Amino acid sequence: MRGNLLDVKNLKVVFYTYRGVIKALNGVELWMNHGERLGVIGETGCGKSVTSLSIMGLIEQPGEIVEGNVYFEGKSMQKMNSSVLYDMRGKEISMIFQEPVSALNPVMKVGFQIAESIARTKKISIKSAYPDVFKMLELVGLDAGRVINLYPHELSGGMAQRAMIAMALSSHPKLLIADEPTSALDVTIQAQIMKLLDDLVSEMGNAVILITHDMGVAAEFCDKIAVMYAGNVVEYASTTDIFDEPLHPYTKGLLKAVPRVGQSKELVGIPGTVPDLVNPPSGCRFHPRCSHAMKICAEELPPLFEVKQGHYVACHLYTREGEHDGNRSKI
């Protein structure tokens, strides 16, 4: 077992649509230990959200997990029956979403929704859960006495996300999945929310998977980063390794494309676009956009393997098969 909390092995997920079968995940490998903070970064359609839904056991029709397994604390989640999974969600693993206002039920008061989730995980009555609700709302910096009686539409985006965090952390989950928690918020509010999350998680010691497209947010929050592209984890290493010595051409390209304040270098984009996953490219799915692409890249999907201590990459530039290709010297 590679990680004592979570181990995702060769996960393949497809969605059956009228356009054809979308091969959303193409053998995702991901693992983490208790209390770690893992950032999953990548662009639109790379499979970040599908990965998190698979971990939650929430892939439903027309989607299907066709291969692979998710192990949570060593137990295969595919083999659990639905009532065990139901108990785990919210208690062991909880989740916060990108659009906090729409993730809350619009016709229930905020306090009631949080009380309901606490009542469910602690198996107590909703009424007796209110003291906990009060405590959690205070903890996330909201005026509990007031917010408890408000409806979600009366909250601003930042307040709603705080309420979501209160709900998600109320059961002290072992794993919190935050799916683009601040993408819909303004930068100043984003800074507040990320600081809050940082403080709370440091205190409670939960493991966090932070899904984001913002390299800055990932750099500031995470211990480790997994870079995803078109349904695969292409690079997985500590945050400092990813930013200081990126190995995969996609990671390198991504880092060169991010504008930064106080840095006058030219931006370099990645030519081409994200592939259509109904007809994904053969072999390495990045090869049509890759400036280092070799013959083997179109033929064979490179596995995610350890190049250096704790630094994993899925790229033929670093495999033995790629060694025989003349292009290799170009890295």
Partner 1 sequence: MEIEVKSEMLMKVENLKKYFPISKSYFSHSVHVKAVDDVTFMIPTKSIFAVVGESGSGKTTLARTVLRLIEPTSGKIFYEDEDLTKFNSKQLRSFRKKMQIISQDPYNSLHPRKLVKDIVGEGLKIHFHMSSNAILDKVKETLERVGLREEHMFRYPHEFSGGQRQRIATARALVLKPEFLVLDEPTSALDVSVQAIILKMLKELKKSLELTYLFITHDLAVVDYMADYVAVMYLGQIMEMGTKEDIFNKTAHPYTLLLMNSIPDPDPHVRRGKMIPQGEIPSSVNPPSGCRFHTRCPYAKEICKREEPKLVKISGTHFVKCHFPNPT
Least distance in angstroms from the C-beta of 44 to partner 1: 5
Under rule CB under 8 A, residue 243 binds partner 1: yes
Least distance in angstroms from the C-beta of 270 to partner 1: 4
Residue count at the site for partner 1 (CB under 8 A)?
Answer: 45
C-alpha–C-alpha distance, residues 7 and 38, integer Å: 12
- Judge residue 67's burial from the number of C-beta atoms within 10 Å of its C-beta, 0-12 exposed, 13-18 middle, 19 or more buried: middle
Under rule CB under 8 A, residue 99 binds partner 1: no
Residue 131: asked if its preceding bond is cis (omega within 30°), the reply is: no
Under rule CB under 8 A, residue 190 binds partner 1: yes
Pick from 279, 129, 140, 257: nearest CA to 199:
140
> Would you state the structure tokens that stand for residue 53, as one six-digit string?
């839904």
CB atoms within 10 A of CB 224: 23
Given candidates 60, 127, 187, 320, which one binds partner 1 under the rule CB under 8 A?
187
Under rule CB under 8 A, residue 240 binds partner 1: yes
C-alpha–C-alpha distance, residues 60 and 196, integer Å: 32
Under rule CB under 8 A, residue 311 binds partner 1: no
Q: Footprint of partner 1 on residues 203-222 (CB under 8 A)?
A: 213-220
Under rule CB under 8 A, residue 270 binds partner 1: yes
Under rule CB under 8 A, residue 183 binds partner 1: no
Under rule CB under 8 A, residue 267 binds partner 1: yes
Chain centre distance of CA 141: 25
Span interacting with partner 1, options 47-55, 123-131, 184-192, 203-211, rule CB under 8 A? 184-192
Under rule CB under 8 A, residue 256 binds partner 1: yes
CB atoms within 10 A of CB 303: 15
Q: Footprint of partner 1 on residues 275-294 (CB under 8 A)?
A: none
Q: Where are the alpha helices (DSSP H) in the chain?
A: 48-55, 82-88, 100-103, 110-122, 126-139, 144-147, 157-169, 187-204, 215-221, 239-244, 249-257, 320-323
C-alpha–C-alpha distance, residues 257 and 31, integer Å: 27
Which CB atom, from 116 or from 220, has the smaller least distance to partner 1? 220
Given candidates 61, 82, 83, 263, which one binds partner 1 under the rule CB under 8 A?
263
> Would you state the structure tokens that stand for residue 47, as one six-digit string?
């499979």
C-alpha–C-alpha distance, residues 183 and 247, integer Å: 27
Given candidates 84, 124, 258, 298, which one binds partner 1 under the rule CB under 8 A?
258
Least distance in angstroms from the C-beta of 238 to partner 1: 9
Least distance in angstroms from the C-beta of 187 to partner 1: 4
Residue span 11-30 as binding mask against partner 1, x where in contact by CB under 8 A, dash where not: --------------------
Using CB under 8 A, list all residues that contact partner 1: 43-44, 156, 158-159, 186-192, 194-195, 213-220, 239-240, 243, 253-264, 266-271, 273-274
